[in-house]
Structure 1
Amino acid sequence: MAIKPLEGLKVLDATSNIAGPYGGAILADLGADVIKIEVPSGDPSRSMAPIDGDKSAYFNIVNRNKDLRQINLKSPDGMAELNTLLESADIFLTNFLPERLVALHITPDELMNKYPHLIFGNLTSYGATGVDASTPGYDATVQARTGIMYLTGEPDGRPVRAGVSVLDIGA
């Protein structure tokens, strides 16, 4: 029997795409009970090629071992459902831009005041403060901005994106 050091912990994973969901998948692999919260239209990674059945292979990999739920956080009912889940959660993961945390009333300070037991993690590409804090970031964008694309491709050719989302998985 495998040791599951996080067994008994409840994680709410409201992240999307690759980096955040991958972190949630690792917690699930370690035994945490992970509830994946998606927008009603589904996580954008559901349509990333290659498609395996009705979901992307990427989506299947980074959302393995999770209880998938679609919750509209823009609606009062959706926020009520989130707050109910937060009452019993140990960890809450997001990858929202700072202004979205403010709009949803789930800033670190608000969460700490309402749920002092909660561990909150918010993954961003460029940090929570500074000139690029409100800039969304994706693996390809960060590869370009950091120069990683200059390390791939032909020596005399244009920069080329790495074949996998190396920064998302390494985040």
Structure 2
Amino acid sequence: MSRAFTREEDSDNAISDVGERPVSSERNLVTRSGLKQIEGQLAALRAELAKAEASADRERIARISRDLRYWSSRRETAEVSVPEQGSAVVRFGMAVTIEDEDGARKRWTLVGEDEADAAKGLISHVSPMARALFGKAVGDVATVNGKEWEIVGIETV
């Protein structure tokens, strides 16, 4: 069938049907920095939406609106969690230095899902490594994927 015979509403739905961003079913724990990141995302998206609306770019409006719904949901469910100063065991928001059998060390900070960036040493609190580390102290061993890691340092950041 020729496009000349399609209804305008059909093409509008195709543009605006960008799908929703999946929202995790896990608790939305965030650090103070993570909350600021969420609020920054919301502010930036609101500014982008105003520009997109001014230019009547429907596809861009749909994408930005979807992202605004996602970040608004994440802001509404955010639970800021600050670890106790001097805690002897690994908690959310802490930096943990681990060492494998070969002496290789890694330092991970346990953060919220939206904050995670492994390249920067930030891992999600729901990751297998974080789950293996929670509640452990210096000298304890965490096993992930069959590999053992000894906790050699814990720091409140």
TM-score in terms of structure 1 length: 0.22
TM-score, normalization by structure 2: 0.23
Higher fraction of strand: 2
